């Protein structure tokens, strides 16, 4: 039996019930993933800027250490919208130079003229343009965000070497429990797997060396309220189930740096000690002798 298709009617956002910019803001704040930019978390909403304006959103991608400065405009984009977006992007970039920042323009219509301008700017400034479409089907309404211009983050294998930092860098930028747990796992690996394992402090993550060479079979990013860990091991249904049963925030990334990626609170670290040790052991076994394959890891 063939499917029954219905045609969606595209309408202006303002023609929707309560069709104001705040309606769109509330939708994004509730679930930033609707922007189709990945798994994002809300960092700030309507942040006051030094210029006196308000930035609609800062959304953060913790996995890749990126902040998105998002400006929304109903109707057509215009000069002031583009200038304002870049101004706010530059302001946040100045405030937090340690983070990668990407400007995001959201509008219902991005005309050919301004598309060309944005495309030109994108050669020097990381900008993403999203077209927002409101639709109506019967008594229901929907909103769709489509990327019409994207910023490609360089991820080449020949990217520059990571920047080493003293241990004090992480002591100042992360919660004591998070750093203590990370270093505790390195010590556990050293005692149980290889006496030459040591922690290597880099600006973007804490990695591991074995016998004086990069291994990174596990990488850590201690934060203010959590510990992020990447276990570079093969995925199994057993680990999936144990992570789910432990109520842990996790995902599995495939590709060149395939890994289980966990975000752990202090309580979760304490209550899942055996699981973390088992993941650590599996990662060591899977990656032993393959240190060069993960040497450029920057997104633990």
Tell me the per-residue pLDDT of 127-159, one tens digit each, with 9 for 90 and over: 888 989 888 887 888 888 888 777 644 433 344
- For the chain, domain boundaries: 9-149, 167-294
Is the alpha carbon torsion for 253, 254, 259, 260 positive or negative?
positive
- Confidence at residue 288, expressed as pLDDT on a 0 to 100 scale: 65
Which residue carries 């203590």 as its tokens? 180
- Confidence at residue 202, expressed as pLDDT on a 0 to 100 scale: 92
The CATH architecture that domain 9-149 belongs to is: 3-Layer(aba) Sandwich (3.40)
Q: Which of 238, 279, 287 is nearest to 260 (CA)?
A: 279
The Cα 78–Cα 83 span in angstroms is 9
The CATH architecture that domain 167-294 belongs to is: Alpha-Beta Complex (3.90)
Tell me the per-residue pLDDT of 230-245, one tens digit each, with 9 for 90 and over: 998 888 889 999 999 9
Tell me the per-residue pLDDT of 26-64, one tens digit each, with 9 for 90 and over: 999 999 988 988 888 899 999 888 877 889 999 998 766
- Say yes or no to pLDDT of 299 above 50: no
- Say yes or no to pLDDT of 296 above 80: no
Orientation of helix 176-192 relative to helix 273-287, angle to 10°: 50
């Amino acid at each position: 039996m063939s499917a029954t298709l219905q045609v969606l009617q595209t309408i202006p956002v303002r023609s929707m019930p309560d069709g104001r910019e705040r309606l769109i803001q509330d939708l994004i704040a509730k679930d930033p993933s609707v922007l189709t930019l990945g798994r994002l978390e809300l960092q700030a909403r309507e942040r006051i800027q030094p210029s006196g304006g308000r930035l609609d959103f800062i959304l953060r991608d913790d996995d890749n250490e990126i902040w998105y400065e998002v400006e929304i405009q109903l109707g057509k984009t215009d000069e002031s919208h583009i200038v304002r977006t870049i101004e706010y992007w530059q302001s946040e970039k100045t405030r937090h130079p340690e983070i990668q920042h990407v400007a995001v323009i959201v509008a219902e219509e991005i005309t050919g003229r301004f598309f060309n301008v944005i495309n030109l700017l994108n050669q020097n400034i990381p900008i993403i343009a999203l077209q927002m479409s409101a639709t109506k089907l019967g008594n229901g309404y929907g909103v769709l965000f489509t990327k019409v211009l994207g910023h490609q983050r360089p991820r080449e294998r020949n990217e520059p070497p990571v920047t080493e930092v003293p241990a004090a860098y992480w002591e100042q930028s992360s919660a004591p429990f998070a750093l203590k747990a990370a270093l505790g796992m390195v010590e556990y690996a050293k005692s149980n797997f290889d006496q030459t394992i040591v922690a290597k402090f880099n600006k973007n993550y804490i990695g591991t060396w074995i016998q004086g060479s990069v291994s990174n079979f596990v990488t850590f990013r201690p934060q203010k309220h959590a510990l992020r860990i990447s276990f570079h091991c093969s995925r199994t249904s057993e680990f999936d189930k144990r992570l789910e049963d432990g109520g842990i925030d996790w995902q599995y990334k495939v590709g060149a740096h395939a890994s289980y990626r966990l975000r752990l609170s202090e309580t979760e670290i304490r209550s899942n000690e055996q699981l973390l040790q088992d993941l650590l052991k599996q990662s060591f076994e899977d990656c032993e002798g393959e240190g060069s394959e993960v040497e450029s890891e920057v997104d633990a």
